Structure 1
Amino acid sequence: MGGSKRKAHSKSRLGCKNCKARKIKCDEKTPSCSNCTRRQVTCDFTVGGSPRPSLSATGLNMTDLELLHNYTAITYLTLADNLATREFYRTTIVQIGFDCDYVMRAILAVSSLHLAHNRIGRRDHYQALAIKHQQTASNTAMPLLSSADPESAQKLFLFGVMTHYYALGWPREPGDKLFLGTSDFPDWIYFLRGTKALLDLSGIPESGPLRPLFAHSIERYVLRKGPEASHSSAHVALTELTDAIASRPHIAAAGGGGNDLRRIYATAIAELKKSFGQAEALRRGAGGGGGGGGGPYEMTDAFSWVYIVADDLLPLLRVGAAEAVAVFAYFCVLLWLLEGHWWMQGWGLQLMAQAYEMLDEEGRVWIVWAMDEIGYVPPSAVDRM
């Protein structure tokens, strides 16, 4: 009776299932408690202070349903302008995701970033959810790449498409150095090369659920080769760039790798002329409004160029070859045309700044047209004002 009372132990009764199973205290942090974060396991603790009931073996819960609802109600509208492509993103890819966990999680990761973009007050929460889903998806999908067959390549291709949106949509500040690898350019540029390899393996589907996505892409590709896209305001500047690169001593030299380099750069620039011509034709309304012949400039339009030149030009870009960097600076103008999309905001200017920093004085002269086109002003010029 006279002894001191034992202090009551504050025991969490709302902890996550992992902590309960291990009989340890859960700090109930969302969207992942500290114990699960440290062990790098999926935590079922969610917003509201208590875990929501799991709805399937994949671990989807009420938070995941919030992300899925946001995706099917809003996010899919932001991924494409063409109605058929939008419908693909709204229904078809989600249906595939129900049978393929890593595709579904890649969808939820993009939805999370979209919510982080729109709900600044809960930005950290939605970014954490995005990281969780993308890491889980990558841990499953990446090991499958080495043994992909035509059937699995299609699902991996869709994972790649959504991962591309994820990488583009990750929030950045103007001075951020988020670039990885040996190059100063972001890895999503090189990731497209791997996506292209999956497409080569699976082939372009002539039927089945993926057909609408590819049918529209083919329509847009045909448009960039049409007669109305043969010239653009960039035509003269790109022709001058072709001549400047061809005159470089290590490229102009007969024999060796000079001829190969001259071909690579000439092809990349010729394809850029088609891309700029297509953009100008769309701006003038060429091709009408039906099918893939009209409408606004799209992601497919810009990134078709990357698919075409990926095998030859991207290795040169990775090592920082000045000529490749200059060519890429013109591509930044095409990225800038997509600035209206939340997942593309800032990329054109940020990569143009990166290209400018990597070039010497001669190389910077080559990209004056591209800089002027998007209004990029080098820091040194600002200081002189």
Structure 2
Amino acid sequence: MPAAKRRSHQKSRLGCKNCKARKIKCDETRPACLNCKRRLEQCDFVSNPGPEPVLSTSGLNMTDLELLHNYTSMTYLTLSENSMIREFYRTTVVQVGVSCEYIMRTILAVSSLHLAHYRPHMVDHYQSVAIVHHQAASQAAIPLIPNATAENGQLLFLFSVLMTYYALGWPRKSNEALLLGDTGFPEWVYLLRGTKGFIDIVGVPSDGPFAPLFKYAISRFMLRDAPEASDSTAHLPLTELESLISQRSCDNDALRHIYTTSITELKKSFGQAQANTTSSYDMIDAFIWVYMVAEDLLPLLRIPTREPVAIFAFFCVLLRKLDGHWWMHGWPQQLIARAYDLLDEEGRLWIDWAVKEVGWIPPSVIDRM
């Protein structure tokens, strides 16, 4: 009997260099494959991002001018609800960018993602341009981070803030893995650890171009300890969560302290959010909690266990207050879905209040069987 012929098939040879080096399948998505996007690595597909930027006869890069115009006329308005901080992003940040290329490139990258969000018919173009600027900025800034000094610390702090907007605003598809970290939690969460590190290096400036941003952040932080912020509708479910965690056997006093402190800080954040009736809820209001737990709780999400995942799920309710912004849209639901997926049945009961507040509908019991 003749041997059966092996079915011929085509082997893709178009994968990116990173995937080939790791010997993993590349989805060949342009302008950057999904594996590279998950790892925030430079994908060699970007070296051929598509159409060249439009140049005038005088040699001006019209694409970058369009991005800068969009940033100074529209994007800056979306980065804060406070008029003073909006002006800081419109003027001071651009002035800094004129003398610091990696800041300017990050500005242009954020602006490009902003345009990609509102011009879906050109999303590939603006996404490609954003990647080029982002990677050029990262190649210049990231090598400076391990040896950050008081001299460049403020620039790197601003870079990390803008990079957070970039990571939040990255276009996401419904059929794509939406959370970028290897454990399932997004890299922008860990970017905020770096932001705290730069503040520790340079301190809080009392004057200079960055002083208004820090002054505003301090004023928002102080609201957390005001008497009117001492209670909220989240306090009872957070107290119940704390009780459930304490009842679970845990011989590690250090971990218990981390969980208790993280919940206490969450109560303050919810209290401040509910008491804040005179101004709009701002990004900094929610992310103060991340700043407060950056050194202790966030590393535990790298190897996710029930307690830190459940606490982080409650944080998603605060993000829900920012969901109207283009750079936050969809994240609360995606994060709560990931937390739900990581937890066992008991842990899912722990976060029932958070799931309902976010407005996410879990899969049915039949679907989970």
Name the TM-score, length of structure 2 as normaliser: 0.84
3-state secondary structure, aligned to 2:361: coil
How far 1:310 moved relative to its partner? 0.7
3-state secondary structure, aligned to 1:312: coil
2:325 matches 1:347: no
Q: CA distance change for structure 1 residues 132 and 39 in 2, over 3 Å: closer, same or farther? A: closer
How far 1:180 moved relative to its partner? 3.5
**Counterpart of 1:270?**
264
Equivalenced residues, count: 326
Letter paired with 1:269 = I
2:71 matches 1:64: no
Letter paired with 1:164 = T
Choose the corresponding residue for 1:297, options 264, 267, 281: 281
2:196 matches 1:196: yes
CA distance in 1, matches of 2:94, 2:261: 38
CA distance in 1, matches of 2:359, 2:59: 50
Q: CA distance change for structure 1 residues 46 and 237 in 2, over 3 Å: closer, same or farther? A: same
What does residue range 1-385 of structure 1 map to in structure 2 within 5 Å? Answer: 40=47, 45-47=52-54, 53-54=58-59, 61-249=61-249, 251=250, 253=251, 258-282=252-276, 285=277, 294-380=278-364
Question: Any conservation in 2 of the 1:167–1:188 contact (CA below 8 Å)?
Answer: yes
CA distance in 2, matches of 1:221, 1:150: 24
Q: CA distance change for structure 1 residues 382 and 192 in 2, over 3 Å: closer, same or farther? A: farther
Q: Deviations over 1:20-43 (max 9, x none)?
A: xxxxxxxxxxx9xxxxx7694999
3-state secondary structure, aligned to 2:296: helix
CA distance in 2, matches of 1:182, 1:124: 25
Letter paired with 1:131 = I
Moved over 6 A (4+): 41-44
Greater RCO (Cα-Cα under 8 Å, separation 6 or more): 2
CA distance in 2, matches of 1:39, 1:323: 40
How far 1:120 moved relative to its partner? 1.4
Question: Any conservation in 1 of the 2:46–2:132 contact (CA below 8 Å)?
Answer: no
Question: Any conservation in 1 of the 2:71–2:107 contact (CA below 8 Å)?
Answer: yes
Q: Deviations over 1:84-142 (max 9, x none)?
A: 10000000000000000000000000000000111111111111110010000001000
How far 1:64 moved relative to its partner? 0.6
CA distance in 2, matches of 1:205, 1:235: 34
Question: Any conservation in 2 of the 1:352–1:376 contact (CA below 8 Å)?
Answer: yes
CA distance in 2, matches of 1:159, 1:312: 23
Question: Any conservation in 2 of the 1:174–1:350 contact (CA below 8 Å)?
Answer: no
How far 1:182 moved relative to its partner? 3.3
CA distance in 1, matches of 2:356, 2:197: 35
Letter paired with 1:129 = V
Letter paired with 1:224 = R
CA distance in 2, matches of 1:178, 1:51: 38
Letter paired with 2:345 = E
Question: Any conservation in 2 of the 1:44–1:51 contact (CA below 8 Å)?
Answer: no
3-state secondary structure, aligned to 1:150: coil
Q: CA distance change for structure 1 residues 307 and 320 in 2, over 3 Å: closer, same or farther? A: same
Bigger mean CA offset, 346-355 vs 37-46? 37-46
Q: Deviations over 1:156-207 (max 9, x none)?
A: 1111111100000011133421433431101110111011101110111100
Q: CA distance change for structure 1 residues 340 and 38 in 2, over 3 Å: closer, same or farther? A: closer
Question: Any conservation in 2 of the 1:52–1:62 contact (CA below 8 Å)?
Answer: no
Q: CA distance change for structure 1 residues 159 and 328 in 2, over 3 Å: closer, same or farther? A: same
Q: CA distance change for structure 1 residues 176 and 39 in 2, over 3 Å: closer, same or farther? A: closer
Q: CA distance change for structure 1 residues 39 and 118 in 2, over 3 Å: closer, same or farther? A: closer
Letter paired with 2:185 = F
Q: CA distance change for structure 1 residues 124 and 229 in 2, over 3 Å: closer, same or farther? A: same
Question: Any conservation in 2 of the 1:157–1:198 contact (CA below 8 Å)?
Answer: yes
Question: Any conservation in 1 of the 2:168–2:328 contact (CA below 8 Å)?
Answer: yes
Question: Any conservation in 2 of the 1:53–1:62 contact (CA below 8 Å)?
Answer: no
CA distance in 1, matches of 2:142, 2:241: 38
CA distance in 1, matches of 2:208, 2:308: 38
Q: Deviations over 1:315-336 (max 9, x none)?
A: 1111102100000000000111
Q: CA distance change for structure 1 residues 162 and 39 in 2, over 3 Å: closer, same or farther? A: closer
How far 1:53 moved relative to its partner? 4.3
Letter paired with 2:113 = L
Question: Any conservation in 1 of the 2:301–2:309 contact (CA below 8 Å)?
Answer: yes
Letter paired with 2:182 = T
**Counterpart of 1:290?**
none
Name the TM-score, length of structure 1 as normaliser: 0.81
Q: Deviations over 1:58-95 (max 9, x none)?
A: xxx22111100000000000000101100000000000
Which of structures 1 and 2 has the bigger CA Rg? Answer: 1
The percentage of counterpart residues that share the same residue type is: 57
Question: Any conservation in 2 of the 1:153–1:202 contact (CA below 8 Å)?
Answer: yes
Q: Deviations over 1:201-250 (max 9, x none)?
A: 0111100000111111111001112111111101110001111111111x
